[in-house]
Amino acid sequence: MAVEHEPEASLRDQMVENQTIINRLNAALARKTDEVRIIQRISSEINSTLELDRILEISLDAMDSVLGFRHSMILLADKDEQFLWVAANRGYDGLEKDAAIPVGVGVFGVAARRRSVMRMGNIGARRAYIGGVGARMHAAGHTQLSQVSAMPGLPDAQSQMGIPLVVKERLVGVLGVESAAPGAFDELDEMLLSTVGNQVATGIDNAQLHLSAIERSRELDTANAALSRLNETLEASVEARTAELSAALDEVRREKALSENLLRRTAPSEVIPLMMQDKLVAQRLDVTIMFTDLEGFTAYSSGMEPDEVFSHLNEFFGWAGELIGRYRGYVNKNLGDGIMAVFGVPFESATHRTDAALTALAMQREMNSQFPFGMRVGINTGTVTAGMLGPPDKSLYDVLGDAVNIASRIEKICPSGGVAVSPSCADALRPWFQLKPLDEREVKGIGQMTCFNVVGLRAIAEDARRVDPTSRFAADYLPVIEEVEKFKSERLGVVDFISLQARDLALHHNEAVACYTVATLRALRSESPEGQPWKGIDDATLIAAALLHDAGKHALEPARLNDRGLDSAGRDRLRRDLMDSTVQTLRQIGEDRLIPTIEELYRFEATRGTDGEFRPEVELLAAADIYDALTAPKIYKGSPWRIVGALAELMRLPYCLRQKRPAFTTFVELMKPADSVIAVRARSGTLIR
């Protein structure tokens, strides 16, 4: 007979315990599965509306019926996050309207302040302990303890759970649940309510944004209405006021013009802003001084009434002043019937020597046709000090130095109708000008000195650095030069090419480019009479394009044009600005039809011909332009290239290496010295050694 053993007491207990555990786990699992469904439902309901009241209702409904929290409330934070107002509640009777909890007080207040979920299940016990200590302290005389008013909610809540609602770092409010029973909420409740809390927070935030958007649009409507009423009344008063104001403005403008005119007489216009700000200081500058003196004026004006004398003189001064200004000179003073002009003030200039010489030449060239008397000119370059000189109410922008006196003395020894320059000045001018030495003379203060007379600019045909005397161009195409000159004066008389070219000393550049281009075109035509595309190009248009291809120079600062220190980015910018300015100028003078060709020319030069195909006119212009840039003396480049070197460089352009270019080849043939050979190394494939 088997004896039935009773399981040991400990084993039975263990089995009961295990069952309890299993039951609990099952319950937890069931809750967890429900959890997801609950959250989803609540979430979709909350997201279905933008009305705040509705959202609060849905949330509390969910907390009560679905999650089983009997007493719950939603608190919303005020703007400054100082207080939490009870916005909605469930499970309370007679909760005060407008009840508030200060942030930082109680479980809900601390959850808000610290923005952290808080769950407490032993509030009663803790309060009793701390409250006891407080009472003892109070009895002992510590009266600084503040009194706290009654909090909204259950009077003796033992358990409380507060979920802070935070959206994008803004405290929206707190989700709160409480219970009269201690330890009423566990970890799972905390997790569930946190998840719901996130949904509720976003929903409330959206609703609030929506509300404020509605508010804002209503505000705007009201504002708009007020504004349009205001506009009407305003327009009427504005009209009246405008009439008053424009009268006053005209008055002010007149005064301003008057004072500016006065100022302009005493200093170059660039200096005036500095004067106004009291920032003008004396400086040492390298300048060129020009003295002019009229010959035969005394004889001419003898017997004239004073009025007439002055009228003639002032006419001369007006004309001379405009010319001097065009070449960026400054009329310092008039001395009787003479003028003293300074080039290179108030800022350093790279072109002051040539500016002075060109001004003098221009004046002498036109003197005969303008005035019945002759003129002498003396020019010297040197260092002076420049600044405002004179008593306070009569000061003048003036220059001081030996160079000034020497210029005056050189003028005295100048032949009639000539332009006399000092030896040092002559050296600087030689690359561009034809000079003739004067007799050696004693110049007071220096001693014996051989000055020079500036005869004029070197002609292209006689400039061996540009045109080789043995080239085919020199042999067959020199008449083109005169043709271009005639075209220039007849068709483009409105443009002063010399003053344009003076800015960066590209003297005769445009004429040279025009000559080379047209000569090459004609050479190509003679090689193949019916050959396109050369037959279809119009000579006059080509000449015009050549002459005007950099007409925009007048709008760019000479300092920029002559900058030797430009890097490739700077050069690109300069090229772009020059092109824009040229296009504008072409429009101003009505030569719009040249614009596409000019733009293509700039593109060619910017990319050295690698950017696609180009019009035949552009090929011709580019060859001539690049060649002259290399061979003619300029400021911003070093020494000019020899002709042979320049031509070889043309053939090395990527444009020419890609395939045969008849325009370039013919140009080279035309310009090269008779006995030279321009080696052209075409890029071959693999070199087998």
Partner 1 sequence: MLPDEIKPAMQGVLPSTIVTCSLDGIPNVTDISQVWYVDKDHVALSHQFFNKTHRNVRENPYVQAIVRDGRTFQEWYLELQYDHSEEKGPLFDKMDMELEAIASLTGMSGVFKLRAADVYRVLSVRKSRSRQ
Nearer to partner 1, 131 or 479 (CB): 131
Q: Which stretch binds partner 1 (CB under 8 A): 141-149, 253-261, 331-339, 476-484?
A: 141-149
Closest distance to partner 1 from the beta carbon of 17 (Å)? 9
The one among 7, 68, 183, 336 contacting partner 1 by CB under 8 A: 183
- CA–CA dist 295, 418 (Å, integer): 12
Residue 24 found at the interface with partner 1 (CB under 8 A): yes
Is the CB of residue 419 less than 8 Å from the CB of residue 360?
yes
- Cα–Cα distance measured from residue 540 to residue 125, given in angstroms and rounded to the nearest whole number: 109
Stretch of 41-49, 123-131, 405-413, 658-666 lying at the interface with partner 1 (CB under 8 A): 123-131
Report if residue 137 touches partner 1, rule: CB under 8 A.
yes
* Residues 83-122 close enough to bind partner 1 by CB under 8 A: 104-107, 109-111, 114, 116, 118, 120-122
Our CB check for partner 1 shows the closer of 162 and 633 to be 162
The minimum distance between CB 15 and partner 1, in angstroms, equals: 15
Give pairs for 661-668: CB < 8 Å, separation 24+.
661/619, 662/524, 663/520, 663/524, 663/616, 663/619, 663/620, 663/623, 664/619, 664/623, 666/520, 666/523, 666/524, 666/527, 667/516, 667/520, 667/620, 667/623, 667/624, 667/627
Which DSSP string corresponds to 451-507? EEEEEEEPPTTT-TTTS-TTSHHHHH-THHHHHHHHHHHHH-TT--HHHHHHTTT-T
* Distance in Å, CB of 141 to partner 1, minimum: 14
**Cβ proximity to partner 1, 181 vs 682, nearer residue:** 181
Would you count residue 146 as binding partner 1 (CB under 8 A)?
yes
Residue 590, C-beta contacts closer than 8 angstroms, at least 6 positions apart: none
Residue nearer to partner 1 on the CB measure, 158 or 380? 158
Q: Which residues pair with 120 in a beta bridge?
A: 160
Query: How many residues interact with partner 1 (rule CB under 8 A)?
Result: 35
Residue whose CB is less far from partner 1, 20 or 47:
20
Residue 197 contacts partner 1 per CB under 8 A:
no
d(CA 411, CA 357): 13
Min CB(201)–partner 1 separation in Å: 20
- Helix (H), strand (E) at residue 37: helix 9-47
Residue 447 in 3-state DSSP? strand
| Closest CB to partner 1 among residues 131, 318 | 131
The nearer residue to partner 1, 121 or 382, going by C-beta atoms, is 121
Contact 345, 287 (CB under 8 A): yes
Residue 2 interacts with partner 1 (CB under 8 A): yes or no: no
Cα distance between residue 60 and residue 72, in whole Å: 7
Kind and range of the H or E run holding 439: strand 433-443
Minimum separation from the CB atom of position 192 to partner 1 (A): 17
Among 129, 242, 256, 276, binds partner 1 (CB under 8 A): 129
Of 86 and 484, the one with the shorter C-beta distance to partner 1 is: 86
Q: Are 56 and 74 in contact (CB under 8 A)?
A: yes
Report the residue number, 125 or 304, with the smaller CB distance to partner 1. 125
Nearer to partner 1, 41 or 126 (CB): 126
Mention every residue, 6+ apart, whose C-beta is less than 8 A from residue 49: 55, 58, 203, 207
Closest CB 42 distance from partner 1, rounded Å: 27
- Residue in the structure block whose two tokens are 């009291």: 278
Instruction: Identify the bridge partners of residue 398 per DSSP, sorted by sequence position.
Output: 387
CB of 128 to partner 1, least distance (A): 9
Looking at the Cβ atoms of 20 and 450, the one nearer to partner 1 is: 20
Pick between residue 23 and residue 385 the one whose CB is nearest to partner 1.
23
Minimum gap (Å) between residue 179 Cβ and partner 1: 12
* SS3 of residue 141 by DSSP: coil
Taking CB under 8 A as the binding criterion, the range among 133-141, 477-485, 558-566, 669-677 that sits at the site for partner 1 is: 133-141
Cα 82 to Cα 84: distance, rounded to the nearest angstrom: 7
CA distance 262 to 452: 38
Q: Does 568 bind partner 1 (CB under 8 A)?
A: no
Describe the strand order of the beta sheet including 118-120 as a list of residue ranges.
Answer: 100-102, 83-90, 71-77, 170-179, 159-167, 118-120
Site string for partner 1, 153-182 (x = CB under 8 A): -----x-----------------------x
**Residue from 34, 53, 186, 215 in contact with partner 1 (CB under 8 A):** 186
**Binding test (CB under 8 A) with partner 1, winner from 15, 22, 30, 133:** 133
Residues 36-65 within binding reach of partner 1 (CB under 8 A): none
Query: What letter does residue 348 receive in the DSSP assignment?
Result: -
Query: Could you tell me the smallest distance in angstroms from the CB atom of residue 568 to partner 1?
Result: 59
Do strands 374-389 and 419-421 pair parallel, antiparallel, or not at all (unpaired)?
parallel
Residue 151 lies near partner 1 (rule: CB under 8 A):
yes
Give the separation between CA 679 and CA 651, rounded to whole angstroms. Answer: 9
- Tell me the closest approach of the beta carbon of residue 158 to partner 1, in angstroms: 8
Tell me: cis bond preceding 533? Omega within 30 of 0 counts.
yes
Q: How far is the CB of 106 from partner 1 (least distance, A)?
A: 5
Question: Of 142-150, 498-506, 522-530, 677-685, which part binds partner 1 (CB under 8 A)?
Answer: 142-150
Closest CB to partner 1 among residues 134, 531? 134
Contact 558, 351 (CB under 8 A): yes
Instruction: Say how far apart CA 299 and CA 318 lie, in whole Å.
Output: 21
Please report, as ranges, the residues that interact with partner 1 according to CB under 8 A. Answer: 21, 24, 104-107, 109-111, 114, 116, 118, 120-123, 125-127, 129-131, 133-134, 137, 145-148, 151, 158, 182-183, 186-187
